Amino acid sequence: MKTKQRAFLKWAGGKYRLTEDIFQQLPQRRCLVEPFVGAGSVFLNSDFERYILADINPDLINLFTIIKADVERYIAHAKALFTHPKANTPDFYYKKRAEFNPSRDPFQRAVLFLYFNRFGFNGLCRYNQKHEFNVPFGRYKQPYFPEKELCFFAEKAQKATFLCGDFEQTFAYLQANPDDYAVYCDPPYAPLVQESNFTHYAGGGFSLQQQEKLALSAKALAKADIPVLISNHDTLFTRQIYRGATIKSFQVQRHIGQTARSRIKVNELFALFS
Ligand SMILES: C[S@@+](CC[C@H](N)C(=O)[O-])C[C@H]1O[C@@H](n2cnc3c(N)ncnc32)[C@H](O)[C@@H]1O
């Protein structure tokens, strides 16, 4: 069995454990498209000729683009930051956060983004209404520097085109640039009925209307012979918006927090529009 590749970022809703199930559902095509790429666990563990990887988060796509262009330079700068004698102190962290927010320098933002991901609270990525990154310091003993994960990502990224935008922009790009596509969508989860920190966090500003719009756009792409697989919570709402697709449901244990309390069991589903 192939060794699984870990993403170099911690990311809410990462699909590291589900990649085999995803590939079982996804039709074989030449180019994999991920309109909600996140940290890229699916991309990293797949074997397509080429990729289109998109996300609405500009810091994430900027980071991927910079790593693809010159990972050695990136590693040198990021490692220097991680090993700074003060790196793991709140003062240093908040100073760097204050430098990051007004910065328009793509390279500086990319280096700091990884530092926040490993030294910040729970690996969260959160912005306030002014688009300022506002995650507090994390208090970890010894944050890990993901050098080999960065190198693996950079090598594989040579086959990828990165796009920053809403999923509808990615879908429009596919229609304007025909190729042999299979699309895997991993949107922020639709809410569960019960309250939990996880669903509260993972609401991610993605409304029920957007969930519905995504399902409609997937149906339209499938009509144009582009298969689309979507994963989500298995709820009455998702069953309703994905009707007409082939549905597969299964139970997973996911966790986003650091404690056993933050671990919950939910049913997930795959909806394949083809
Ligand atoms: C559940 S995560 C994807 C996780 C990914 N599959 C992984 O394994 O790391 C969802 C992603 O969707 C992105 N996102 C949220 N709203 C979006 C939108 N309207 N269009 C495109 N991406 C969006 C978020 O920035 C986040 O990275």
**Residue 255 predicted with pLDDT over 80:** no
Chain segment 54-85, per-residue pLDDT in tens: 999 999 999 999 999 999 999 999 999 999 99
Residue-wise pLDDT for 104-144, tens only, equals 999 999 999 999 999 999 999 999 999 999 999 999 999 99
- The confidence score (pLDDT) of residue 264 equals 64
Q: Tell me how far apart the alpha carbons of residues 91 and 111 are, in angstroms, rounded to a whole number.
A: 18
- Tokens describing residue 145: 């520097």
Give the closest residue to 202 by CA, choosing from 254, 243, 239, 132: 254
Q: Residues 58-84, buried b or exposed e (16+ Cβ, 10 A)?
A: ebbbbbbbbbbeebeebbebbeebbee
What is the model's pLDDT at position 198?
43
Q: How far is the CA of 189 from the centre of ligand 1 (A)?
A: 9
For residue 188, the CA-to-ligand 1 centroid distance in Å is 6
pLDDT of res. 263: 63
pLDDT at 33 over 80: yes
| 246 vs 228: CA distance, rounded Å | 11
Task: Tell whether ligand 1 has an atom less than 6 A from the beta carbon of residue 35.
Answer: yes
Nearest-5° Cα angle at 136, 131 to 142:
130
Q: Distance, CA 71 to ligand 1 centroid (Å)?
A: 23
CA of 170 to the centre of ligand 1 (A): 13
Ligand 1 binding pocket includes 123 (Cβ within 6 Å): no
CA distance 163 to 105: 19
Q: What is the pTM for the complete model shown? A: 0.93
pLDDT, residue 252, reads 79
User: Which pLDDT score, from 0 to 100, does residue 2 have?
Assistant: 75
- The amino acid at residue 190 is A
What pLDDT, on the 0 to 100 scale, is given for residue 84? 98
Tokens of residue 172, six digits: 């429009």
pLDDT digits (tens, 9 = 90+) for 214-225: 999 999 999 999
3 state SS for the chain:
CCCCCCCCCCCCCCCHHHHHHHHHHCCCCCEEEECCCCCCHHHHCCCCCEEEEEECCHHHHHHHHHHHHCHHHHHHHHHHHHCCCCCCCHHHHHHHHHHHCCCCCHHHHHHHHHHHHHHEHHHCCCECCCCCECCCECCCCCCCCCHHHHHHHHHHHCCEEEEECCHHHHHHHHHHCCCCEEEEECCCCCCCCCCCHHHHHHCCCCCHHHHHHHHHHHHHHHHCCCCEEEEEECCHHHHHHCCCCEEEEEEEEEECCCCHHHEEEEEEEEEEEC
Whole-number CA gyration radius for the chain: 19
Give residue for tokens 């797949």: 46
Q: Cα(138) to centroid of ligand 1, in Å?
A: 23
Share above pLDDT 90 across residues of the chain, in percent, rounded to a whole number? 86
Which of 18, 55, 255 to probe ligand 1 with, by most ligand atoms within 8 A of CB? 55
- Specify the ligand 1 atom closest to the Cα of 11: 9
Residue with tokens 């909806």: 271
How far apart (Å, rounded) are the C-alpha atoms in residues 264 and 244?
29
CA separation for the pair 225, 223 (Å, rounded): 5
The alpha carbon dihedral of 142, 71, 151, 135 has a sign of positive
